[in-house]
Amino acid sequence: MQTVSPCVTCPHRDQGFCGTLMEKRLEESSAQQRANWQHHRIVPAGKQIATRNEVSEDVFVLCGGWGFRFFQLPDGRRQILNFLLPGDLFAATSVFEQRFHFSVKALTEAQVSGMRREEVQARLDANPRILMALAESCAAESEAADKSLTALGQYSAEERIAHLLLHLMRRIAARSVIREQRYPFPLRQQHIADAVGLTTVHVSRIFSLFRDRGIIVVSDGILTVVNLPELERIGVLN
Amino acid sequence: MQTVSPCVTCPHRDQGFCGTLMEKRLEESSAQQRANWQHHRIVPAGKQIATRNEVSEDVFVLCGGWGFRFFQLPDGRRQILNFLLPGDLFAATSVFEQRFHFSVKALTEAQVSGMRREEVQARLDANPRILMALAESCAAESEAADKSLTALGQYSAEERIAHLLLHLMRRIAARSVIREQRYPFPLRQQHIADAVGLTTVHVSRIFSLFRDRGIIVVSDGILTVVNLPELERIGVLN
DNA sequence: CGGCAGTTTGATGTTACTCAATTTAAGTGG
DNA sequence: CCACTTAAATTGAGTAACATCAAACTGCCG
């Protein structure tokens, strides 16, 4: 599980929270912050940050805001692979690949940090704790991918949406203190639809259903969980 | 892409083909074959080889036959995460995790090789080429998972099945020479159904459809591709 | 010959999609 | 703060895709 801590590598850290284990390990190995092998930028909401098949010398971390990783199909369909929260690497495997196999967009205004891949790899060799942290990220991503696959293959619409919400809630709670079951929630229904393989219309109906049954309410970018046990009953696989 | 080569670490190698890069790298580092940190066994078709949450000191490779990785839900539903072919690690990340986050079953009679995790890790430290090979496996698995996710989230039944077949065909062809577009194919329709999130009844209908349209024929454990361009038109997500 | 596992086929039901209209919310500029 | 504009969410009606249930068929093996 991830712990709450301010962003250590990002110069914009006063504006948000990062602090994954991977990031901490990298920082540990580096004497000076804001070294010249890192760069940072702020991107507006909706802006595409990375494109499939694009070559990059950098490994990216989302330092602030939300983003998402996705595949775009030629006919316009889009699959959102996962959502990126502060502290997340775009993908753990991108430390070893110079080409993105996915695209990334900013969901809100976001802070993105890039680190030279060869520098990251050099630190990997020098410090086995970084390698271990990276291996853990890989394993966590792989397990999350397997769970998403199960959700899309086996779950009904209600189950998929409940599952997505619970998964996001756990990740948000690991990064900031949650009071009264109110979670920041910048997703549009279109994002949910593209993540769980439904249409926006159907997502809206399920949300209405949940609202009417007193399970959750979404408004003003805030997700309020009214009946957590019921949400878990619907959405927890195992 | 993987190359055709006999299984190097497995004592049963005359009975099948393995030869992933990862395996070759491991062998490279080891003077004697059949070292005492490896063990091998033959498991009958249908036998469960690994169970979710189970702890193991070993890292497993499928040396011969076919297997599959899956999640079992309490209500009986099952999601097949991927199929294992000779030479495949059960999962690349299992080199770092002592607990399976998935279950594995033998699809045909299969040969399984287990290697002490600490021995594998020791070789990882000693030989950077092994680490690189493992990183490549991780990246390949992650990309495959993202593609499967897209297939389940966005594709119609026809597209999903065509996609699965093409994906398997490429992997089989990387391990053995294919003549006349005839591929060994030990899957039951139930396996396909559980892999692509459909019912067996619907899988059967799609197969009939493909057969009637002269695209593929499956019989006697052999998949014959009659019209490859058409199959690719349906199933390639690019 | 009987039994079993796997596949095929038909009839019917349900879930989720499509299309279209309407309402609500979120900005924007005056 | 209010009219205006635009994006997002909601609702209804009709439809397509896939599931469910049940029966029949096939090949295989004892």
* Predicted local distance difference test score (pLDDT) of residue A180: 87
Residue matched to tokens 């580096």: A30
> Can you say whether the dihedral through the CA atoms of A148, A151, A152, A157 is positive or negative?
negative
* Predicted local distance difference test score (pLDDT) of residue A27: 64
* Predicted local distance difference test score (pLDDT) of residue B5: 39
Interface test with B, best of A150, A161, A190 (most B CBs within 10 A): A150
* Predicted local distance difference test score (pLDDT) of residue A4: 35
Q: Please tell me the distance from the alpha carbon of residue B135 to that of residue A95, in angstroms, as a whole number.
A: 9
Instruction: Determine the distance between B106 (CA) and D28 (C1') in angstroms.
Output: 22
Spatial CA neighbour of A165 closest among A192, A200, A131: A192
Instruction: Indicate yes or no: CB of B145 within 8 angstroms of CB of A149.
Output: yes
Q: Please tell me the distance from the alpha carbon of residue A103 to that of residue B201, in angstroms, as a whole number.
A: 36
pLDDT band at A17 (very low <50, low <70, confident <90, very high): very low
Residues of B in Cβ contact (< 8 Å) with A150: 71, 73, 79, 81
CB of A28 within 8 Å of any CB in chain B?
no
* Predicted local distance difference test score (pLDDT) of residue A128: 86
* Predicted local distance difference test score (pLDDT) of residue A3: 35
Q: Nearest nt (C1') to A187 (CA)?
A: D8
Q: Please tell me the distance from the alpha carbon of residue B127 to that of residue B119, in angstroms, as a whole number.
A: 12
* Predicted local distance difference test score (pLDDT) of residue B37: 81
Contact criterion met (CB below 8 Å) for B94 and A142: no
Instruction: Indicate yes or no: CB of B79 within 8 angstroms of CB of A149.
Output: yes
Query: Which are the contacts of A84, defined by CB distance < 8 A and separation ≥ 6?
Result: A62, A66, A67, A68, A69, A90, A104
Averaged pLDDT for residues A9-19:
46
Q: What is the mean pLDDT of chain A?
A: 88
pLDDT in tens for each of the 238 residues of chain B?
A: 333 334 555 554 443 334 566 666 666 555 555 567 888 999 999 999 999 999 999 999 999 999 999 999 999 999 999 999 999 999 999 999 999 999 999 999 999 999 999 999 999 888 889 999 999 999 999 999 999 999 999 999 999 999 999 999 999 999 999 998 999 999 999 999 999 999 999 999 999 999 999 999 998 899 999 999 999 999 987 6
Instruction: Indicate yes or no: CB of B93 within 8 angstroms of CB of A149.
Output: no
Instruction: Indicate yes or no: CB of B101 within 8 angstroms of CB of A141.
Output: no
Instruction: Determine the distance between A201 (CA) and C19 (C1') in angstroms.
Output: 11
* Predicted local distance difference test score (pLDDT) of residue A125: 87
Find the CB nearest B142 among A74, A91, A136: A91
Q: Which pTM was predicted?
A: 0.90
**A130-162 residue pLDDT tens:** 989 999 999 999 999 999 999 999 999 999 999
What would the DSSP string read from start to end of chain B? -------SS-TTGGGS----HHHHHHHHT-SSSS-TTEEEEEE-TT-EEE-TT-B-SEEEEEEES-EEEEEE-TTS-EEEEEEE-TT-BS-GGGGT-SB-SSEEEESSSEEEEEEEHHHHHHHHHH-HHHHHHHHHHHHHHHHHHHHHHHHHHH--HHHHHHHHHHHHHHHHHTTS---TTEEE----HHHHHHHHT--HHHHHHHHHHHHHTTSEEEETTEEEES-HHHHHHHH---
**A181-222 residue pLDDT tens:** 999 999 999 999 999 999 999 999 999 999 999 999 998 889
CB of A143 within 8 Å of any CB in chain B?
yes
**A70-108 residue pLDDT tens:** 999 999 999 999 999 999 999 999 999 999 999 999 999
Averaged pLDDT for residues A23-28:
64
* Predicted local distance difference test score (pLDDT) of residue B24: 66
